[in-house]
Amino acid sequence: MASYDFTAIESRWQKCWLDNATFRTLGPGDEGFDISKPKFYVLDMFPYPSGAGLHVGHPKGYTATDILARYKRHRGFNVLHPMGWDAFGLPAEQYAIQTGTHPAVTTKKNVDHFREQLRALGLSYDWQREVNTTDPKYVRWTQWIFSKLYEKGLAYQSEVPVWWCEALGTVLANEEVIDGRSERGSHPCVKRPLRQWMLRITQYADRLLADLEGLDWPDSVKAMQREWIGRSEGAEVRFAVDGATGDDGAAAEFTVFTTRPDTLFGATFCVLSPEHPLVDSIAAESQKEAIEAYRLEASRKSDLERAELQKDKTGVFTGAYAINPVFEEGDPRRRVPIWVADYVLMTYGTGCIMCVPGGDERDFEFAQKYDLPVVFVVKPDADGADADAAAEACSTGDGVMQNSEWLDGKRVAVAKAEMCAWLEERKIGHAKVTYRLRDWLFSRQRYWGEPFPLLHDQEGQVRLVAEADLPVSLPVLDDFRPNAEGDPPLARATEWCEVVDADGKVWRRETNSMPQWAGSCWYYLRFCDPQNDMAAWDPKIEEYWMPVDLYVGGAEHAVLHLLYARFWHKVLFDCGLVSTNEPFQKLVNQGMVQSFAYKNTDGVLIPVDEVKEADDGHFEMIASGEPVERFVAKMSKSLRNVVNPDDVIAEYGSDTMRLYEAFMGPVTASAPWNPRDLPGVHRFLQRSWRVFDAGLSDTPNDAVERALHACTKKVTTDLDAMANNTALAAMMEFVNTATKEKAQLTANQGSRFALLLEPFAPHLAEEFWSMCGGQGSCAWADWPTFDESMLVSDTIELPVQVNGKLRGRVTVPADAPHDDVEAAAVAEVAAHLQGKTIRKAIVVPGRMVNLIAN
RNA sequence: GCCGAAGUGGCGGAAUCGGCAGACGCGAUGGAUUCAAAAUCCAUUUCUCGCAAGGGAGUGGGGGUUCAAGUCCCCCCUUCGGCACCA
C-alpha cells in the first residue's frame, strides 16, 4: 500500500507536460494542424503581474477555464487557451521612482514569479503563446493599431480639463477616478486643463450599444455598458436671446437638448451651465458681478462637489431673456428668463437646457427656490380625486398633454413626435440622439507605457512614425519623474525626443504615453498568432480562432476594458483587419474569493494570524484571549487576510487546490475562502487513490459499472453547463460507491474515471491513467461515453402523497402501468385514507403519486 | 432614487420542465480500529413535539394560482454590485 504522494506525482507530470509540450496548440499553417476539427477559444483576462504574486482569488477563474479547456480537448476540439501579462502600469513605475530599479527589471521578476505560480497549478496553457504587453515585439503592434485609429481620424488632441492626480503625477480618465480619488491607490485628484490625446469612441456609441444585443454576456454587464453609453432620444431646440446680438451682428441664440420636446409649452425659463460661452455676452450689466462671482465659485468646485450639493441648487439670473418659439409674438409667455446654474453640465448635451418645472423635478426644485413660474403640461393617468391633484403637480412620466394649445389632449409619445415635426418645419429644431459616453482620454504622463508613434514639428503639425520604424521603444532613463517644466518623464530623454527626417527636418516625439488599457485592447488577437514578425496577426489564423468563445474575468472590468476592447475591435473590423464584429461571444464574471477577517470589540482590525477559534466556536486573540468578531471581506493586504496559493499547494498539492476552487460553488458566485474545507476535497483524492492503489480486477463489479455510467453522464452534462461543483459531487459519489463495494476497478473502468477526473485534478488523473496501463498523457484521449440502459433499474421507488402531503413510498416495477402504481400507492397509505373517498389520483410516471381524498 | 444580481440547515452549497427540499462537502455527535493519538472505516445529523410508533413546521416576509410551488404571479423586506443633477 503506497500513500498518495501528491508532491511527487504533481512534479512528475508537470515536467512531463513541459518536456513533451503536451499543451502546444497548433493553428492554421502549422505542420500537423487539423483544420477539420472544431475550435474553442477559452480566454482568461490576463493579469497585471504585481509584486505581491498570486492570491487564491486569481485561480478561481483560471481553474474554471482550465477545466473547460481540458474537457474540450477530450471532446475533439482544437483548444486555444493562452496566458500573458498586462505588464505596463503604475506600480512598477512608482517602485522605480522610489528605488531606482528600472520598471523592466521589476516587471520581469514579477512575471517570472507569476508564471511559476501558474505552472504550479497545472494550468494547461500553451506557454509558447505567452504575450507580454511591454515586449517591444508587442508594443510595435499596439503602436501600429494606434496608427490605424489615427489614420481613421479617431485620435485627436484636445485641451481638456482632466483629472490630475498629484500623488501619481498623471492624468486619469474619468472612469479611473471614483469620488474624486484615484481608482488605484485612492489619492485625491483635481481637474486641470491639459493638452491630451483623445479617441473618438463616441463615434461608435450606437454600434457599441446595438451590438450588445447578440452577445452571451451577463445581463448586469450589458446593463452597465448600456448605462455607460447612455443613449437618449430627444430634440435640439434653438432659442433666440431677446434683443441681443452676437459678435457677427446676428441675433444671439443658443441650442438646448431636451428629451421632452413635448413639454415645450411648459418651458418657463432656461439655464446655461457656468462654463457656457454665451454667458459673458448676454449678461446684463447689473448682473455681471454676481455672475462672475458665481462662475468663479463653480470653477473651484470639482465635479464631485457639484454632485454632492445636488440637493441644494444654486444659480444666478443673467438679466437676459430667451424667446420660447412656441408662443406667438406678443404673448407674455414668450419671453423666458435665462439663468446660470451649476446643475447644468457643460459636458453633456449642449451645455444648456430649457426648463420645464412642471415636467422635471430638478427644474421644479430650482423654480421653487427662485420663484419662477410653473406650468403643468402633462396630466398623468389617474382616476377620480387623484386626477385633479395630479394635474397640478410636477409630472415626469407618461400622460396626456394640457396647457399646451395644439398639443392638448395628445399622449406624450404623440406630442413628442408632433413637436419634433413642428420644430423641423420651422427650422428651429430637430430630433436628436445624445449619448452620455464621452470621448476616451487616451494619454498619460507616464514612463512605463507605450510611446505614441507620433512626431510634432515646430508649427504644430503632427505625423505618424513610419510603419517601418516601429516600434518606438522607450528610451533608457534612470529618473522616472516628470521634468522640471512639468513635462512627462519621456521629455527627459532629450536625444530620444529629437528626430531628424530624410529631408533634414527636425521633429519632436510625443512625450505622452498610452494608458494601460491599450495593450489589453487587442491581446486576445495576438494570442492567435503570437510569434508573427510580419504582421500583428495572420488574417487566416485570426479568422479560424476568433471570436473568443468564452471570456472569463472579474466584474470590475464590466465597462472599461470590455468597452475599450470592443471599440478597438470594431475599428479593426472596419479596417478589414478582423473577421468578426465583436471580440468576445460569451462572457462570464467569476465571483470574488473573499476571506475571513476579524475585528475586536472596538472595531479595530485584527490580522488573521493573531486569531484562533475558541472551544465554544467563538473567535479570540491568541495573545490576550480578547474576543473578536469574524466577518467576510475582500482579501486585502490591509486586512491581513490574503491567502497565498503556494502555501495551499505545499500542504495539500495543486490538485486539491484546483478541486477546492471548483468545489466552492458556481464560478459566478462569491464565497469566502474557508481553509477548514480543504481537507474535504483532499480526502476525496485520497479515497480515489486508495481505490486505484488496491489494484485492478479483470471482472467489473456491476454496481460500480452502473455508478460509473451515471457519473459519466452527470459529469458530462455538468461540464457542458460549467457546473464544476456538481460534477465533482458526482465523482465523489462514484468513489464512495466504489469504496463501499470494496471492489477493484478494471483497467477500463479506471481509465474512464481517470478521464472524468482529468479536467479537475489532472496530475492525479494522469497517474491513474498510467496505473491502468495508459501510455503517456491522457490529455488528448477521447471522452468516455455512457450507456443510458445502464442508468435505468428494474424497479423504482415512488413517493406517495395524500392531499399533497408525503405519507409513504412504494417500490414498483419501472414499467408498471398507471393502475398498478395507483393500487400499490393506495395500499401503502391505507391508514391515511380511512374514512375518506379518493376523489382523484395523480400518477406522474417515474416521479410520484398524489391521492386526493376527503 | 434608478438599474442589475441574490436571499435555502451550524457553514459552502444542490434541486434540468411546477413533482420526495437539503445531493456533495465541511463541521458536529456516537461507534469500530488503536496502548494512545492521527489517519481510516461505519452510523446519525433542517427545526420541533414524542420513550416510541408517529405527528407538526420549514427555502427572507405576506398574499395568490395549482392536485402539487424553493421554482410561476402580485406586494413587501434585506444584502451585494453598478449608476446617480446626463436635461
CATH number for the domain that contains residue A108: 3.40.50.620
Q: Are residues A485 and A426 in the same domain?
A: no
pLDDT at A573: 98
Sheet of A170-172: strand order equals A170-172, A155-165, A189-199, A440-441
In this complex, the nucleotide whose C1' atom is nearest to the CA atom of residue A555 is B81
pLDDT at A386: 65
Q: Is residue A684 part of a domain?
A: no
Q: Is residue A720 part of a domain?
A: no
Closest CA to A365 of A356, A354, A377: A356
- CATH at A606: 2.20.28
Q: Are residues A332 and A427 in the same domain?
A: yes
DSSP string, A95-119: HHHHH---HHHHHHHHHHHHHHHHH
Q: Name the residue closest to B82, CA to C1'.
A: A224
Q: Are residues A549 and A500 in the same domain?
A: no
pLDDT at A815: 81
User: How distant is C1' of B68 from CA of A804, in Å?
Assistant: 6
- Picking from A434, A467, A495, the residue at the C-terminal end of a domain is A434
Q: Are residues A281 and A425 in the same domain?
A: yes
Closest CA to A80 of A49, A38, A46: A38
User: How distant is C1' of B75 from CA of A638, in Å?
Assistant: 43
List C-alpha distances in Å: A636 to A48, A49, A664, A676: 16, 16, 20, 20
Q: Are residues A527 and A633 in the same domain?
A: no
Q: Are residues A545 and A406 in the same domain?
A: no
In this complex, the nucleotide whose C1' atom is nearest to the CA atom of residue A306 is B85
Q: Provide the grid cell at A648.
A: 495551499
Quick one: A286 exposed, middle or buried, by C-beta within 10 A (0-12, 13-18, 19+)?
exposed
Quick one: A49 exposed, middle or buried, by C-beta within 10 A (0-12, 13-18, 19+)?
buried
User: How distant is C1' of B49 from CA of A831, in Å?
Assistant: 21
Instruction: Say how many domains are in chain A.
Output: 5
User: How distant is C1' of B58 from CA of A827, in Å?
Assistant: 28
Q: Provide the grid cell at A570.
A: 470594431
Here the ipTM equals 0.94
DSSP string, A121-144: TT----GGG-EETTSHHHHHHHHH
Q: Name the residue closest to B68, CA to C1'.
A: A804
- Picking from A642, A657, A683, the residue at the C-terminal end of a domain is A642
pLDDT at A778: 97
In this complex, the nucleotide whose C1' atom is nearest to the CA atom of residue A360 is B87
Residues spanned by the domain of A67: 9-131+518-589
User: How distant is C1' of B12 from CA of A59, in Å?
Assistant: 18
Q: Name the residue closest to B69, CA to C1'.
A: A804
Instruction: Yes or no: say if A165 and A446 are a contact pair by the CB < 8 Å rule.
Output: no
Closest CA to A590 of A61, A1, A93, A3: A61
Q: Name the residue closest to B80, CA to C1'.
A: A670
Q: Using CA atoms, how far apart are residues A222 and A670, in angstroms rounded to an integer?
A: 20
Q: Name the residue closest to B84, CA to C1'.
A: A307
User: How distant is C1' of B56 from CA of A850, in Å?
Assistant: 20
Closest CA to A166 of A490, A482, A510, A443: A482
Which bases of chain B are contacted by protein, using any atom under 7 A from a CB?
3-5, 11-16, 19-21, 23-27, 39-42, 55-56, 67-69, 81-87
In this complex, the nucleotide whose C1' atom is nearest to the CA atom of residue A3 is B39
Q: Are residues A92 and A237 in the same domain?
A: no
In this complex, the nucleotide whose C1' atom is nearest to the CA atom of residue A305 is B85
In this complex, the nucleotide whose C1' atom is nearest to the CA atom of residue A680 is B25
Q: Provide the grid cell at A54.
A: 498570486
Instruction: Yes or no: say if A120 and A73 are a contact pair by the CB < 8 Å rule.
Output: no
In this complex, the nucleotide whose C1' atom is nearest to the CA atom of residue A847 is B19
Q: Is residue A458 part of a domain?
A: yes
Q: Are residues A348 and A426 in the same domain?
A: yes
Burial per residue of A685-700, b for 16 or more beta-carbon CB atoms within 10 angstroms, e otherwise = bbebbbbbeeeeeeeb
Q: Is residue A728 part of a domain?
A: no
Q: Using CA atoms, how far apart are residues A795 and A540, in angstroms rounded to an integer?
A: 57
Q: Name the residue closest to B24, CA to C1'.
A: A729
Q: Is residue A760 part of a domain?
A: no
Q: Name the residue closest to B10, CA to C1'.
A: A617
User: How distant is C1' of B30 from CA of A682, in Å?
Assistant: 25
Q: What angle do CA A262, A266, A269 make, to 5 degrees?
A: 120
User: How distant is C1' of B16 from CA of A717, in Å?
Assistant: 10
Q: Using CA atoms, how far apart are residues A766 and A655, in angstroms rounded to an integer?
A: 11
Per run of 10 residues, the mean pLDDT along chain A (length 854 residues) is 89 96 95 96 96 90 96 97 96 90 96 96 97 98 98 93 75 69 74 86 94 91 92 94 72 92 96 92 91 85 61 88 94 95 90 94 92 92 68 84 93 94 95 92 92 95 95 93 81 94 93 95 98 97 97 91 97 98 95 84 76 70 78 78 90 95 93 90 95 92 93 95 95 93 92 97 97 95 92 83 86 84 86 83 88 85
pLDDT at A804: 86
User: How distant is C1' of B26 from CA of A788, in Å?
Assistant: 33
In this complex, the nucleotide whose C1' atom is nearest to the CA atom of residue A258 is B87
User: How distant is C1' of B62 from CA of A102, in Å?
Assistant: 65
Q: Are residues A125 and A165 in the same domain?
A: no
List C-alpha distances in Å: A711 to A508, A708, A739, A763, A808: 67, 5, 15, 20, 29
In this complex, the nucleotide whose C1' atom is nearest to the CA atom of residue A314 is B85
Q: Are residues A583 and A610 in the same domain?
A: no
In this complex, the nucleotide whose C1' atom is nearest to the CA atom of residue A672 is B12
User: How distant is C1' of B13 from CA of A671, in Å?
Assistant: 10
Q: Are residues A291 and A350 in the same domain?
A: yes
User: How distant is C1' of B23 from CA of A616, in Å?
Assistant: 30
In sequence order, what E strands does A259-410 have? 269-272, 315-323, 335-341, 352-355, 378-379, 400-401
Q: Provide the grid cell at A108.
A: 520581469
In this complex, the nucleotide whose C1' atom is nearest to the CA atom of residue A805 is B68
User: How distant is C1' of B29 from CA of A499, in Å?
Assistant: 81
In this complex, the nucleotide whose C1' atom is nearest to the CA atom of residue A665 is B13
Strand, coil or helix: what is A152? coil
Q: Name the residue closest to B66, CA to C1'.
A: A804
User: What are the residues whose beta carbons fall under 8 Å from the beta carbon of A460, sequence distance 6 or more?
Assistant: none
Q: Is residue A723 part of a domain?
A: no
Instruction: Yes or no: say if A394 and A369 are a contact pair by the CB < 8 Å rule.
Output: no
User: How distant is C1' of B66 from CA of A842, in Å?
Assistant: 13
Q: Provide the grid cell at A359.
A: 415636467
Beta bridge partners of A606: A598
In this complex, the nucleotide whose C1' atom is nearest to the CA atom of residue A808 is B20
User: How distant is C1' of B46 from CA of A807, in Å?
Assistant: 19
User: How distant is C1' of B7 from CA of A215, in Å?
Assistant: 28
Terminus-to-terminus CA distance in chain A, angstroms? 63
Backbone φ, ψ for residue A776 (5° rounding): 65, -155
User: How distant is C1' of B6 from CA of A211, in Å?
Assistant: 28
In this complex, the nucleotide whose C1' atom is nearest to the CA atom of residue A261 is B87
- CATH at A383: 3.90.740.10
User: How distant is C1' of B47 from CA of A215, in Å?
Assistant: 45
Q: Name the residue closest to B54, CA to C1'.
A: A807
Q: Is residue A21 part of a domain?
A: yes
Q: Is residue A780 part of a domain?
A: no
User: How distant is C1' of B47 from CA of A670, in Å?
Assistant: 28
Q: Are residues A578 and A612 in the same domain?
A: no
Q: What angle do CA A427, A431, A436 make, to 5 degrees?
A: 130
In this complex, the nucleotide whose C1' atom is nearest to the CA atom of residue A220 is B4
Longest dimension (CA), chain A: 111
